[in-house]
Amino acid sequence: MNFDTKEAQLFRSTFHSHRYHHSDHICLSPKFPMILSASQKTRPSLQGYSNQKRAFTSHLNFAMKSLGTKSTESLCGRYSTSSNIFKTYSHAESKDIFPEWLTERKDFQKQITRMSNLALIDLGLTCEKPENLREDLEKRALREWCRLCPFFKPLSEITGTEVCKKLKTYYFPSGSVLMKEGDHGDNLYIIYKGMVEIYKNSVDGCIAVVAPRNHVGEVALETDGIRKATVKAQGDVVALELKKADYNEIILKQKPKEKYETADFLKQVPFFKEWGKSKLARVAWDMFQQQYNEGKIIYEINSKPLHFFIVKEGSVALEVDVTLKHKNRLPVDNEGLYLVNMKKYKKTIRICESTDFFGEEELILGIPRKTRAISMSPNTVLFQLHAEDFNNQFKEKDKQDMQKIYEGRPSTGALRKSLNKELQVRASKYQAILQASQISPMPQGRLFQDIRMNKKVDWAKKLMTQLAGKISKQLIEEENYLEVPSRKSK
């Protein structure tokens, strides 16, 4: 089969356009074989779904080769639906992609229209309805959304679908309490819209902010115990509730498998390689997952250490604040005053990726956070362990061994020296590029000299803008003030 045909090129452009909007996840449906068949300008068999299903593999291979895709997994993803493939295209646009005989069919037109509206479905309204009153498209949209939630990722397809049937919508105005520390846990919430804040009676202020797609309240259901924290709505919040009875009936029987998979992942962490299965299993049962968007602060400098973290997916940057001061004596001042320019920068001291852990140092030493942790990936997933569980699961020898794996925070002097060098190197690189940008040889004469200078000025502006942009991302604050020298310095 020739894969440089017009039809193959059409599929390539269609799918690459889809990938631009929806990452690398391409979605297929039971009707997709018919669409693939249409790309070959031949009528698909209309003898029933079973014939289409048998032809699915060959049609799928055609699309994969057209795209240069090596595996079915990379094309379809683990779970596949037809929802996203139609989001970019209306019925009118579909005429430019599919043959006329197909676009004229009413069932095809209906499918295009339904799929293009999938992204507009309000799942809050969907979960207000009993499961038997929800439309098929609403059920599909809900299941698709839930697949991206950490709570659903360990669940099988059947279990996830059963959980979706039990979800019920609740609306919380700003400042209202979703659950209170010390109360008995009888449900959990998956945040659909808005943000919620976590508070503990033993800590002043908010200790964490939970974003959409994350869940709160599962620990109390797992242990059949009381709430360990209070959860409040930061603004207006829409949450999907799962009752304890449904959790016990559907989820609890699958928990051992999920925790076994967690323990299996922990075995990949170098620190845990020598641990026995039973010890790893105990740690896995106390851990929970949390998802963070890119740029989300996981914890701040000087905050109280409440969790130990292991990166499952994505990456996390650990940052410190470094202050640089530059003094200049005022030449016309008899008192010898100094003009001080103070700049505070963010400096990354470590990037944590999958199987790396962080947050242990402050828990072991019992001190406030010395670093700031920030998610560097669109969907960073972390395993977390509460401070009290960390102290129960890890013995003193374990903690001592853990401190040897990663070097401690560099000294303030070393950080300042490193940052100064980094800024100087960056400035010297741009200066070298600027000098290399001089255009020569050039014709002589005033007119051509002016043209040459204008080009150099344009280059300089662009380069300095880039340099200023990179530095401003690191710069937190800048301050200028007068300083009176001490008697000793006089």
Average pLDDT, the chain: 76
Per-residue confidence band for 52, with pLDDT thresholds at 50, 70 and 90:
very low
Is pLDDT larger for residue 196 or for residue 334? Answer: 196
Per-residue confidence band for 391, with pLDDT thresholds at 50, 70 and 90:
very high
Q: Assess whether pLDDT exceeds 50 at residue 62.
A: no
Count of other CB atoms within 10 angstroms of residue 77: 16
Q: Assess whether pLDDT exceeds 90 at residue 163.
A: yes
**pLDDT, tens digit (0-9, with 9 covering 90-100), for 178-225:** 999 999 999 999 999 999 999 988 888 888 899 999 999 998 888 788
The pLDDT score that the predictor gives to residue 451 is 63
The pLDDT score that the predictor gives to residue 385 is 93
The pLDDT score that the predictor gives to residue 307 is 93
Mean pLDDT over 425-439 rounds to 67
Q: Which of 63-77, 87-101, 259-273, 313-327 has the lowest mean pLDDT?
A: 63-77
Per-residue confidence band for 314, with pLDDT thresholds at 50, 70 and 90:
very high
Q: SS in 3 state form for the chain? A: CCCCCHHHHHHHHHHHHHHHHCCCCCCCCCCHHHHHHHHCCCCCCCCCHHHHHHHHHHHHHHHHHHHCCCCHHHHHCCCCCCCHHHCCCCHHHHCCCCCHHHHCCHHHHHHHHHHHCHHHCCHHHHCCCCHHHCCHHHHHHHHHHHHCCCCCCCCCHHHHHHHHHHCEEEEECCCCEEECCCCECCEEEEEEECCEEEECCCCCCCCEEECCCCEECHHHHHHCCECCCEEEECCCEEEEEEEHHHHHHHHHHHHHHHHHHHHHHHCCCHHHCCCCHHHHHHHHHHCEEEEECCCCEEECCCCCCCEEEEEEECCEEEEEEEEEEEEEECCCCCCCCEEEEEEEEEEEEEEECCCCEECHHHHHHCCCCCCEEEECCCCEEEEEEEHHHHHHHCCHHHHHHHHHHCCCCCCHHHHHHHHHHHHHHHHHHHHHHHHHCCCCCCCCCHHHHHHHHHHHHHHHHHHHHHHHHHHHHHEEEEEEEEECCCCCCC
Per-residue confidence band for 137, with pLDDT thresholds at 50, 70 and 90:
confident
**pLDDT, tens digit (0-9, with 9 covering 90-100), for 220-251:** 888 788 998 999 999 999 999 999 999 999 98
Is pLDDT larger for residue 473 or for residue 308? Answer: 308
Q: Assess whether pLDDT exceeds 90 at residue 127.
A: yes
Q: Which of 45-49, 91-95, 323-327, 358-362 has the lowest mean pLDDT?
A: 45-49
Q: Assess whether pLDDT exceeds 90 at residue 128.
A: yes
The pLDDT score that the predictor gives to residue 115 is 63
Mean pLDDT over 432-439 rounds to 62
The pLDDT score that the predictor gives to residue 53 is 41
The pLDDT score that the predictor gives to residue 86 is 39
The pLDDT score that the predictor gives to residue 66 is 44
Per-residue confidence band for 146, with pLDDT thresholds at 50, 70 and 90:
very high
Per-residue confidence band for 30, with pLDDT thresholds at 50, 70 and 90:
very low
Mean pLDDT over 118-129 rounds to 88
Q: Angle, to 10 degrees, between the axis of helix 157-166 and the axis of helix 136-147?
A: 120
Mean pLDDT over 409-421 rounds to 79
Mean pLDDT over 29-46 rounds to 44
Mean pLDDT over 287-303 rounds to 91
Q: Assess whether pLDDT exceeds 70 at residue 87.
A: no
The pLDDT score that the predictor gives to residue 449 is 57
Q: Assess whether pLDDT exceeds 80 at residue 76.
A: no
Mean pLDDT over 62-75 rounds to 40
The pLDDT score that the predictor gives to residue 103 is 75
Q: How far apart are CA 258 and CA 289, in angstroms?
A: 11
> Cα 221–224–228 angle (5° rounding)?
70
The pLDDT score that the predictor gives to residue 438 is 58
Nearest 10 degrees: Cα torsion 139, 142, 148, 153: -50
Distances (CA, A) of 324 to 218, 294, 361: 45, 28, 26
**pLDDT, tens digit (0-9, with 9 covering 90-100), for 461-490:** 776 677 666 666 777 777 777 777 765 544
Is pLDDT larger for residue 114 or for residue 349? Answer: 349
Is pLDDT larger for residue 422 or for residue 432? Answer: 422
Q: To the nearest whole percent, how much of the chain has pLDDT over 70?
A: 68
The pLDDT score that the predictor gives to residue 424 is 78
The pLDDT score that the predictor gives to residue 176 is 94
Q: Are 357 and 271 in contact (CB under 8 A)?
A: yes
